[in-house]
């Protein structure tokens, strides 16, 4: 549930308002490492999607008669541009604070994971657009057996093209590309563990195979 930046000096593009139905993990939302784009959302809002004051139409709108504000979505349609990598997952970043408890009259015993997920606090999503080396945890990519971005895919090789599905998941399967032109958004490098030796992984204890947790890739939209 994380995007990891593996190359020094890369800066994020910034934070943008995300669809409320897509940003929270409870709704199966952004985990970090998905491909996303910006789309229009009408002003004044015609639906229930909310935004912080600095994103809610006070500035930055486009259009004159029909006004819109930009909003982040990981649901991609043919020709969607520009493309970014999402951040703001709730686990795997090294800083966790447990789960929120309490809720209505204090009866909630489990809730959202508290951590560096800015969407929980503001509804915004951090986007990365710079070409470079990144890693995405394996729960945030195409996990289709054999053909997906999974360690069991024997056809994957270094430098193989990665596409994005209509759900914004990185995949080596060209048939799942959201784009009719089969746009290459990244190149596969390797699978790896999270590198942690603090909690002894099973393979160091001599039990089972290496526990790959993430896919490393070079992000560079090949237009």
Tell me the pLDDT tens digit for each residue of 12-46.
998 888 888 887 665 567 888 999 999 988 766 55
Q: Quick one: average pLDDT of 126-140?
A: 95
The phi, psi pair for 73, rounded to 5°, reads -140, 145
Element (H, E) at 128: strand 124-128
Residue 212: helix, strand or coil by DSSP? Answer: coil
Q: Give the predicted TM-score (pTM) of the model.
A: 0.82
CB 162 within 8 A of CB 186: yes
CA nearest 165: which of 8, 33, 19? 33
Please indicate, yes or no, if residue 143 is contained in any of the structural domains: yes
Number of domains in the chain: 1
Please indicate, yes or no, if residue 171 is contained in any of the structural domains: yes
Report residue 176's pLDDT band, with 50, 70 and 90 as the boundaries.
Answer: very high
Please indicate, yes or no, if residue 150 is contained in any of the structural domains: yes
Sheet containing strand 124-128, strands side by side: 14-17, 124-128, 84-86, 35-43, 67-73
How many CA atoms within 13 Å lie on the side-chain side of 144? 12
Please indicate, yes or no, if residue 1 is contained in any of the structural domains: no
Please indicate, yes or no, if residue 145 is contained in any of the structural domains: yes
Q: Quick one: average pLDDT of 86-109?
A: 63
CB 177 within 8 A of CB 184: no
* pLDDT value at residue 69: 79
CA separation for the pair 10, 7 (Å, rounded) = 6
**pLDDT top residue among 154 and 44:** 154
What domain range includes position 149? Answer: 6-219
Q: Is the per-residue pLDDT at 120 higher than 80? A: no
* pLDDT value at residue 2: 84
How many CA atoms within 13 Å lie on the side-chain side of 146? 0
Q: Is the per-residue pLDDT at 160 higher than 90? A: yes
CB 145 within 8 A of CB 211: no
**pLDDT top residue among 56 and 128:** 128
Mean pLDDT of all residues in the chain? Answer: 81
* pLDDT value at residue 84: 98
Report residue 221's pLDDT band, with 50, 70 and 90 as the boundaries.
Answer: very high
Q: Quick one: average pLDDT of 68-85?
A: 92
């Amino acid at each position: 549930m994380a995007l990891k930046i593996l190359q020094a000096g890369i800066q994020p593009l910034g934070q943008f308002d995300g669809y409320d139905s897509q940003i929270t993990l409870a709704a199966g939302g952004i985990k970090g490492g998905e491909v996303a784009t910006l789309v229009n959302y009408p002003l004044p809002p015609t639906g229930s999607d909310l935004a912080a004051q600095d994103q809610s139409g006070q500035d930055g709108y486009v259009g004159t008669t029909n006004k819109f504000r930009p909003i982040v979505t990981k649901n991609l349609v043919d020709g969607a541009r520009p493309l970014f990598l999402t951040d703001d997952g709730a686990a795997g970043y090294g800083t966790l604070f447990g789960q929120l408890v309490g809720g209505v009259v204090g009866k909630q015993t489990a809730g959202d994971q508290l951590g560096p997920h800015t969407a929980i606090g503001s509804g915004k999503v951090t986007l990365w657009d710079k070409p470079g080396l990144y890693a995405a945890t394996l729960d945030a990519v195409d996990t289709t057996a054999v053909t997906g971005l999974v360690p069991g895919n024997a056809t994957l090789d270094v430098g193989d093209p990665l596409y994005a599905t209509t759900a914004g998941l990185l995949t080596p399967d060209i048939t799942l590309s959201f784009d009719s032109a089969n746009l290459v958004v990244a190149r596969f490098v390797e699978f790896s563990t999270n590198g942690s030796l603090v909690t002894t992984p099973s393979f160091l204890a001599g039990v089972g195979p290496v526990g790959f947790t993430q896919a490393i890739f070079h992000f560079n939209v090949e237009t």
